Structure 1
Amino acid sequence: MRLLRSTALAACLALVAPALWAEPASRIASIGGSVTEIVYALGQQDRLVARDTTSNFPPEAEALPDVGYIRALSPEGLMSVDPDLILTEEGAGPPEAVEMLRAAAIPMIEVPGGHSAEAVRAKILAVGTALEVPEAAQALADSVDAQLAAAAEAAHGTPAKKVLFILSMQGGRILAAGRDTSAEGIITLAGAENALTAFSGYKPVTDEAIAAAAPDVILMMSRGGAADAGHGTADQALSHPALAITPAGQSGAVVRMEGMLLLGFGPRVGEAVTELSAALQSAGHDS
């Protein structure tokens, strides 16, 4: 048993050794929009040499080399920027790409995910630890906590509306958010209820399921320009036969927010909750 404990401890030390004993990383590839936002919020952006496709905020991040989508990374592209640390959200892939990067002995730190206030705090502190700026991370996490507390106080006592989040409307087929999703997480933080709880993840839903959900508000992402075509517009939602007969459709209650702000669960989550909470309460009132 003692040998097993020693072996396990040695394995753990081997994993964290690069972060503990090496020189601070100065060439960082940031994978995942929320991680990149945290790096900027901590004032450490000068250490970045690459980012993934989801890292589009702040706008200046888009000037960094793009190494692909977080779940479809290019190992060659990552290695070409010669990083001394890859800092990534949970879920980076594909697995073979991650294996290739680990085989190349590039230190990689995975930041925990989650869709709650506690998860955002843990994410900020994890990035701060990886970048060796724990005090700045603590201050940022405290600031985000204060924003969320203020948003909760502002929403206190208001009716909890049922919200249907639509991820896409390709060909009129609605892909919506169920339980255990970032959409449900942000809806809950805004003091509302997810209208669909019979399934987990994002799934196509039938007209009957939409009618039974009877949402008070329809929530969608706004990406701008041609990108909105596949994800749906307010007009498309309100003209959809199943949505049109719901309370949201009848009152014209559609809220659209920028996708990374809404679902990123990064340092702007307090801003997102404040904006969403206010929008949900006023949705449909001007129709």
Structure 2
Amino acid sequence: MNRLSSVKILVSWWLVLACTLPVHAQEPVRPFVVRDDAGREHTLARPVQRAIALAPSLTELIFATGGGDRLVGVVEYSDYPAAARALPRVGSNQKLDLERIATLKPDMIFVWYHGNGQREIERLRAMGIPMFYLEPKHLDDLPAVFERLGRLFGTEAAARDASTRYRARLASQRARHAGVPRVRTFYQIWSQPLMTINGTHLISDVMALCGGENVFADQPMLVPQLSTESVVAANPEVILAAHRSRDDADLAPLRDPQAQSLAHWQRYTSMRAVKNGQVWTIPGDLIARHGPRILDAADAVCTALDAVRAAR
């Protein structure tokens, strides 16, 4: 038998064998459904490939859960992690560059439910791009946010790891401050007009974690406007506000009665917070972002409230 005949016989045997093997059909891609914080269900045929985040906190959340390489656009102040600084800017949370957004061709835009300008959101909606709303209101909401983002981006393993680390750290912080004496706390969001947060805001949950009692928790609006007299009458033991962090060295709480945004309180010496020098600023890059680093913000708030208790 010559060599050519041998090759023909071998090929014939392989063809016979192949015909006897079972044939498996390719698994179809199954659509999946994820619900956002506006209660809307989004049905996707595949994970998100090109995303835009309309708040720095959303940028952090997406990176933390493994989807950072799918981000094609972010808003101003999206500076964490470092890789976010190189991403294209599409405006601010209040003023969007719709033309730039259109050219980036996102298949999903992530929106901060109460943080983005509604007029801008309506204009964005008219473009027909799917929008996924997120706004965790409690510290316990964040693990579910991580897991939903993992589902959206197909990065479930990274999201589960982030959720596990977060849950463990939150439990540790709760254990450290379980049963501590309460501290009457006023958090100033803005000075002119004077604004604070009510009890359903995530910052109020951070205060409670540290043993703080939000003196305006019962206000009906999420971010109510106040009179100076109402704060004086509430007589908080500590006043907190955010300070702008320039780099990682600034991510520490400061007892800072002369802080520009808080100096006006110094004339109201009848308030316990002023009389005892318990006026603090908290790193804004931490406290104002509803992402994984909110637990770093909790450490800063707890430092301030622990100082109040120690001085009693």
TM-score, normalising length from structure 1?
Answer: 0.79
Where do residues 164-243 of structure 1 align in structure 2 (5 Å cutoff)? Answer: 164-170=186-192, 174-199=194-219, 200-224=221-245, 234-235=257-258, 236=260, 237=262, 239-240=264-265, 243=268
1:258 correspondence with 2:283: yes
Distance 1:247 1:253 in 2: 8
Counterpart of 1:245? 270
Report the CA distance shift for 1:206/1:241 in structure 2 as closer, same or farther (over 3 A).
farther
- State the secondary structure of the residue aligned to 2:239: strand
- Per mean C-alpha deviation after superposition, the further-off stretch among 113-122 and 239-248 is 239-248
Q: Deviation at 1:71?
A: 4.2
Contact 1:251 1:284 survives alignment (8 Å): no
How many residues are paired up? Answer: 262
Amino acid at match of 1:216: E
Q: Deviation at 1:100?
A: 4.6
- State the secondary structure of the residue aligned to 2:182: coil
Identity over aligned pairs, percent = 25
TM-score, normalising length from structure 2?
Answer: 0.73
Contact 1:164 1:194 survives alignment (8 Å): yes
1:79 correspondence with 2:102: yes
Counterpart of 1:228? none
- Using CA pairs below 8 Å that are at least 6 residues apart, which structure has the higher relative contact order? 1
CA deviations on 1:240-269 (whole Å, 9 max, x unpaired) are 256432111011112211223113221112
4+ runs deviating over 6 angstroms? none
Report the CA distance shift for 1:125/1:187 in structure 2 as closer, same or farther (over 3 A).
same
Contact 2:257 2:278 survives alignment (8 Å): no
The structure with the greater share of residues assigned to helix is 1
Counterpart of 1:134? 156
Counterpart of 2:295? 270
Distance 1:251 1:284 in 2: 11
Report the CA distance shift for 1:80/1:176 in structure 2 as closer, same or farther (over 3 A).
same
Q: Deviation at 1:94?
A: 4.5
Distance 1:269 1:92 in 2: 17
Q: Structure 2: which 5+ residue stretches go unaligned?
A: 1-34, 247-255
Greater Cα radius of gyration, structure 1 or 2? 2
Distance 1:234 1:58 in 2: 31
Counterpart of 2:88? 65
Distance 1:210 1:240 in 2: 10
